[in-house]
Structure formats: C-alpha cells, structure tokens
Amino acid sequence: MHPTPGPATLHPVEALWKHDLPERFDPMTVKELRQSLRRGSFVYPFLAIHFFAVAAMAVEFQISPSSADPDLAGMLNPYLLWSSGPFWALVAVICLFVMPLGGIALMRQELEEGNHELLLLTKLSRWKVVFGKFLTLWGLSALTFVSLLPYVVVRYLVGGIEWWHEAACASTIIGGAALMCAGVIGASAFQGLGARIGILALFLASMAAGCAVPLAVNAMVTKGCGILYHIHAVAAVISYSAIGLALARSRLRLVVHAYEVKPSGMLIGLIIFAPFVITMATAFTFGFAGLLGLLGMAVVAWRSDITPKAPKWMPPPPPNLPPPPPLPIQTT
C-alpha cells in the first residue's frame, strides 16, 4: 500500500483545500486569515452584497446607462465611482467602508492582551505583524470585490458600459480599499473608541488632501487621466498605505528611550504635515511630478521609527557579572 501523502508532499494548491494553508504563507497572515474568515463582519456583508448587487443591477437596467467621458476614467476618481450608477455605489460602500471598518479593533486586541510582546519574541518583526494584518483585511475586501466580477462582466455585455470605465472603477475600489485598510489598522492601535475615530478621521482628511492635489493638478495639466496620472495614483496608494502601517507599527514599540521622540506622536505629525509637503512638491514640478512628494512621505514613514542598533563590526559589551567570591583562607 502506498502511504497517504501529507501536507508537506502535496502541491500548495492541493494542500490548501485538503489540509491547511501552505507553510510558505506568513504565519501572521495565516493567523489573521483564520480568525477573520469566521467573523460576522466578513460573512454577513459578503452574503448581503450579492443580494443587493442583483437589486442594483436590476435598477440599472431600467435606466439608461451613463455615457462616461473617457478622459475622466482614472484610478482614485471618486466622482467617476459615485456617478456610475447604484451598482458601483453599493460596491464602494461595502468594499471601502463596511469591510475595512471591521478591523477597527485588530491591533488593540494584540496590545491589550499583551500578545505583541510574545509575537516580538519570535522571528516576527513589527513590520511583519502589521503587514500580516493589512494583507488579511485588504485581502478580504479584495475577495469580496472579486466575487462581484461576474456582475461587472454582465454590465459590460448587456449594459453597454465601456471596458475602460469598468477598469477605472475597479482600480479605484482596489486602491481605495488598500488606503482605507491601512488607515483603519493604524487607528486600531490606539486605546479607546474616541481616539480611534479621531485618528482615523485625521488620516482620512490628510489622505483626501494629499491625494487630491497631485491627482487633480496632473489631470488638468495632462488634459485627462493618462499614464502619468495613473503613476501618481499608484504612488498615492503606496504613500498613505505606508503611513497608516507605520503608525500601527509605532504602537508596537516595547521600549522608547529617553533621548527618542515618541514614535506615534512623530507619525501623527507626519500625517498632519504630509499634505503640505505633497502640495509643495506638486507646485514646484508644475503638476508633473507630485509623486515625488508622495513617495518621499512613504520613505519618511518607513524610516521614521527605527530602533538604534550598533554596527555588526562592534564587539558586544562585556558581561556585567558580579565578582567571584573570595577564596577561603587555608591554614596549616
């Protein structure tokens, strides 16, 4: 008889549905994915969105489809999203608000119970802890959206909608979900519901100002949403996603030295002043390279909370051991 193959000998895809997630997955992502798929904040909206999607499409077929200007079809264009009918409005509410807001207590669970101290004793770094939660929360929003792709195809085939219009709306949902999930995870690391709401509102205000200026100015300069506009949109997603995750990472610091600035306060200041820096970079480059300010803020957020470490060539300090006890005096 041949032995039954175990999870280690199976193909990763076969192991996924026969046994468990493959070992190549990050352990933090696996942990959060197992918990999140059982939460009611994912199951119920996931089931409800399909019921409302059918109703929204039935309403759309009763009205004439809107003829969108192809020059306005671009990523992170909220006007295009909300003016595209009830279907995309429903998708935006579920994927941009309902699903991400389900993680408003993700980081606080680890901090209140002291789990982050145990996690940081392993090989997991602070970035891996935060990024694992981000991948899970963003992945659930993306999974919900992917389940709606058949409705998008039906709208394209039956409703007379142009493909670039649907692609622009889809990229807006995916990019906006990443921004929203990063902000929610950053806000969830603070104690108290009022503090979380305040930090999230500050992040969303900074994100709206910091992303709108370079995108709107570039669209006016280039006369539409072209390649350069979409490069700016991708840079905006990277920038504010890094800022939100860096804010959550700063709350995982176990020790803050007396000569260091409080990391979370420094990141809050970065959130406040980021739109001004991005606006100046947009003005100095006449709207063609506002992405320099966006990517610069991402680098600052990435490097703002680094624990000082000695170089590898420096020898470790000598051990601070108590002196040995004196030897007994021998008498003859």
Domain positions in the chain are: 20-253+262-303
Helices (H) and strands (E) in the chain, counts: 15, 0
∠ CA 218-222-227, nearest 5°, is 80
Q: Model confidence at 208, in pLDDT bands (50, 70, 90)?
A: very high
Please choose, from the candidates 243, 271, 85, 81, the residue with its C-alpha nearest in 3D space to the C-alpha of residue 176: 81
Q: Which residue has the higher pLDDT, 106 or 222?
A: 222
In angstroms, the Cα distances linking 312 to 279, 285, 315, 319 are 40, 41, 8, 18
Give residue 16's pLDDT: 47
- The number of residues in the chain equals 332
CA-based nearest residue to 257, from 307, 304, 302: 307
Using only the alpha carbons of the chain, give its radius of gyration: 25
pLDDT tens readout for residues 247-300: 999 888 877 776 677 888 899 999 999 999 999 999 999 999 999 999 999 999
The widest CA-to-CA distance across the chain, in whole angstroms, is 114
Query: In terms of C-beta density within 10 A (0-12 exposed, 13-18 middle, 19 or more buried), how is residue 311 classed?
Result: exposed
pLDDT for the residue 26: 66
Give the integer Cα–Cα distance in Å for 203 and 232. 19
- Does residue 79 have a pLDDT over 70? yes
9 vs 84 pLDDT, higher one = 84
H/E stretch holding 151: helix 149-158
Q: Which of 22-31, 50-59, 71-80, 287-296 is predicted least confidently?
A: 22-31
Instruction: Please state, for a pLDDT cut of 70, what percent of the chain lies above it.
Output: 81
- 75-79, 100-104, 142-146, 320-324: range with lowest mean pLDDT: 320-324
DSSP state of 98: I
What is the sign, positive or negative, of the torsion defined by CA atoms of 214, 220, 226, 227? negative
The predicted structure's pLDDT at residue 299? 94
Rounded mean pLDDT of 6-21?
Answer: 50
Q: Which residue has the higher pLDDT, 240 or 104?
A: 240
Give 93: exposed, middle or buried? Use CB within 10 Å, 0-12, 13-18, 19+.
Answer: middle
Whole-angstrom CA distances from 195 to 96, 108, 167, 177 are 21, 12, 36, 22
Quickly state the pLDDT bin for 223 (edges 50, 70, 90).
confident
Residue 52: what pLDDT? 84
In angstroms, rounded to a whole number, what is the distance separating the alpha carbons of residues 107 and 246? 13
Mean pLDDT score of the chain, rounded to an integer?
A: 82
Give the CA dihedral 129, 130, 135, 141, nearest 10 degrees. Answer: 130
Residue 315 banded pLDDT, cuts 50, 70, 90: confident
Checking if the pLDDT of 123 tops 90, the result is no
What pLDDT score was predicted for residue 69?
A: 60
